[in-house]
Structures are given as structure tokens and as C-alpha cells.
Amino acid sequence: MASSLVFGAVADDLTGAVELSAMLQAGGARTRLVVGAGAVPATLDGTDALVVALRSRVAPPDEAVAASTLAARRLRALGARQIFLKYCASFDSLDTGNIGNVAEALRQDAPPAPVLFCPSFPEAARTVFHGHLFIGLQLLADSPKRHDPLTPMTRSNLVDVLAPQTTLRVGVLPFERVAEGAAAIRRHAEAALAEGTPFLIADAILPADLQRIAEASVEWPVMTGGSSVAAYYPALWAQRGWMPPEAAPPLTATAGPSAVLAGSCAERTREQVACFGQSHPVLSLDPMEPQEAGVARALDWAAARLGEGPVCITTSDDPSRVAAAQAAYGAIAAGRRAEALLGALAAGLVGRGVRRLLVAGGETSGAVVEALGISQLRVAPFRELGVGLCQAEQPVPLALCLKSGKLGSVDMFARALAGMEAAHA
């Protein structure tokens, strides 16, 4: 007999889905990750949380809403008490979506209740105060995110960011109410709902703020945010008797050749590629060159070096060259060309025996996993910001590290590849 699911999450990219799964696993929740709404099973046993990874962050709004709604309906059919919309801690989105429009669609299928938006991730220096998102000491609009090639974030007030994406009214859950605790949060949110404002941007600066927000929202049918607030849910589920105290089995060690595929143009990814290149071979590809020729050249280059250690193939580039590519092809099309190239390379590398693969970039990770035909991943418990370790059994046994372009230490590439050779509890 299938068990009832506690928590169903819809993530707008794969690296976010991995990060969320890892944090839930670390909290003791038996968590599964599937890729695509179509991969949600009809029945489920021994699972407390099911995370669905989509590629909806920069998808056309109608596609993002349709895929997210389908995933949420399948999660509810499995008994999920709460649907959680996972997005980036920097609230990556456009005026057309896909945060507000998707959240509105998810709420339409649920009983009436407030919906909070909580992207804060204090461990990564992402905080919200009076509705304004800060990246470290900088307002979002003053940070490098203003130059993001796909979702340039030119406003710091998240009410102003979210409002064009939804027909519903958007307000703020102020820090003063958050500091008063879960009961005060619920009273404020329910009063706002009664006055016609169901969506609230949640102020949160410290981990304790996220814990209070989680306590307030754990029984609401729809919640949205980053993985940092969701990390507090498993303990609350255990307190309510919603999940048994059973730990998931650890990931196994994986040997074999290894490689890095870097598609993110984030400054941190480019720093990581440069650091890796100090002691390992790196090949830079122009994603605008014909794909067949680029893939063949890169695979020949890698084949001659894989026996000596890990290699890196990258399409990451400086902002000026990215802007030129976008001007020629359009922002989304230019990104998709790079993702298709790296997806084809991933399939070629795995076909040549690579069994440990690090992929840098959320959209790139989605493209690679799709190209490899992977529909389900086992995820290791969270250990380090920006390092999402997981394993696929089909179509071939493969260890993966799927990382956001903006996160991870500068020297993480080599460390993560080496770490895949050890078991992860």
C-alpha cells in the first residue's frame, strides 16, 4: 500500500532541486528527486518528500505554468500535505514570470490560505529586509545579478519584482512580525489575506527567522521559497508524527574517469574554471560554432586526456561576449545553444566511460541530465553550499555534482570530483 506523501516540491531548475533534496535528506526526511512532471510516479512508498525538477525558470510562461501545475497535481494525488515552489535565492525571474504566475496557478488548486515568498538564504548572504533583497551588503539591483544574461535583476524591492508576474496583490511580511514568532506571522498573513493580499514577501535575515517562518507555514497548502527555509520542515514533520525516524541509505563510492562541464557565465563559475585550470586541462568552446564539429573536437580532446585525470570543457564567457551572442541569437536561444552543446558532450563523455561528472549551472545541469536520459536521482544529505552530490542508476551508474553557477568555493571542482570516490552518508 502506498504511503501518504508529506511534502511535494516543484523546483524551477535542477540544481535547486538537488539542493532542496539534500537539505531535506540532512533533516531526516526520506527524499526522492525526479526529473520532469512526467516522471512523478503513480504510487509511492517509503518517501516523505518528493522533489520534481523542471526547467521552468526561463521557459515561456504558459509552459512553466502547465508543467508546474501538472507536477503539483500529481504530487497532491500522492497525498502531499503541502506544495512548495522552489526558486533561486536571488529571485531570478522576469516581469512575465515564472515565480508569481506559477505560484498563482498552484494556489488556484489549493484551499484558500496565505502564500509566503521566502528566498532568504543567510548562509549564502541572501537576505530580505522590508521587502528588499540583499546580496551580501549590496541591494540586489546593485549586485552582479543586474548583469545576469537570462534574468537581469534590476530592482531590489521584491514586491516590485513579483507584482507584474501575478494578478494577485502582493505585500510584505515585515521583520517586526517575523521576530515575534510563528503565531504573529500567521495572524499578520491571515489578516492580509482577509484584506485581499494573499501573497507576502517574507523578511528574513537570520536562520532563526527562517525557522519561525517554517513553523508558521508548515500546515499551509502552498509555500514558496529557497531551500534554506524548507530545511526546517523535517523537524516539524517529525514533531507532528508525519514521518518515521528512518534514515535513507548512503550514496556509494564511484570510481572511473571524471570531467567538468561548465555552462554558467556567473563570475563564480569563471573563477572556478580558472582555479581548476591551474592544475588540470581546460578546453573553452564557442557555443555559436556548429554543434557537430564542436562536439567532435571536444570529445577527441578529452579522450586524449581522461586517462591522466579530470578535464574541464566550458562555454562560460565574459559578459561582453555573452551580450554579443545574445544580440545575434536572442538571450534564450543563445543559452539553449550552449546547453545543447554541453548536453551532447555529456552523452559523448559518458559513452566513453566517464562515471563522475560535475556540471556548473542550473540550466546546464537540466540540459545534461535530459541529454543523458536520467529521470530519477538519489541525493546525498547537504554538506556544503553549492555542492549537490547525487547518483543515477539508469541508463548507466553515474555520480554527479550539480551546482548553481553562483555558488561553491573557488577550488570546489577538483575537491568534488575526488569526493565522489568516497561514500557519502
- Compute, in degrees rounded to 10, the torsion defined by CA atoms 32, 358, 119, 25: 30
Q: Point out the least confidently predicted range of 3-12, 168-177, 193-202, 383-392.
A: 383-392
Question: 320: part of which helix (H) or strand (E)?
Answer: helix 319-329
- Compute, in degrees rounded to 10, the torsion defined by CA atoms 337, 343, 349, 355: 150
Q: What is the pLDDT of residue 323?
A: 61
Q: What is the pLDDT of residue 424?
A: 47
pLDDT digits (tens, 9 = 90+) for 147-182: 888 899 999 999 999 999 999 999 999 999 999 999
Compare 384 and 168 and report the one with higher pLDDT: 168
Compare 10 and 423 and report the one with higher pLDDT: 10
pLDDT band with cut points at 50, 70 and 90 for residue 2:
very low
Q: Which CATH superfamily is domain 7-239 in?
A: Putative sugar-binding, N-terminal domain (3.40.50.10840)
pLDDT band with cut points at 50, 70 and 90 for residue 191:
very high
- Compute, in degrees rounded to 10, the torsion defined by CA atoms 185, 20, 144, 384: 110
- The order of strands in the sheet holding 126-129 is 126-129, 132-135, 138-139
Residue 21 backbone class (left: φ over 0; alpha: ψ -120 to 50; beta: rest): alpha
pLDDT band with cut points at 50, 70 and 90 for residue 317:
low
Q: How large is the angle between the packed helices 291-303 and 331-351, nearest 10 degrees?
A: 40
Question: What average pLDDT does the segment 90-96 reach?
Answer: 96
Residue intervals of the chain classified under CATH 3.40.50.10840 are 7-239
Distance CA 390, CA 262 (A): 17
Residue 412 burial by Cβ neighbours in a 10 Å radius (0-12, 13-18, 19+): buried
Residue intervals of the chain classified under CATH 3.40.980.20 are 258-419
Q: What is the pLDDT of residue 326?
A: 64
Q: What is the pLDDT of residue 319?
A: 58
For residue 182, give the nearest of 116, 228, 231 by alpha carbon.
116
Whether 1 shows a pLDDT value over 60: the answer reads no
Distance CA 38, CA 43 (A): 13
Q: What is the pLDDT of residue 305?
A: 94
Distance CA 237, CA 3 (A): 15
Compare 331 and 66 and report the one with higher pLDDT: 66
Question: What average pLDDT does the segment 75-100 reach?
Answer: 96
Q: What is the pLDDT of residue 425?
A: 38
pLDDT digits (tens, 9 = 90+) for 241-295: 999 877 667 787 888 899 999 988 888 899 999 999 999 999 998 877 888 888 9
Q: Which CATH architecture has domain 258-419?
A: 3-Layer(aba) Sandwich (3.40)
Mean pLDDT of the chain: 91
pLDDT digits (tens, 9 = 90+) for 18-71: 999 999 999 999 999 999 999 999 988 889 999 999 999 999 999 999 999 999
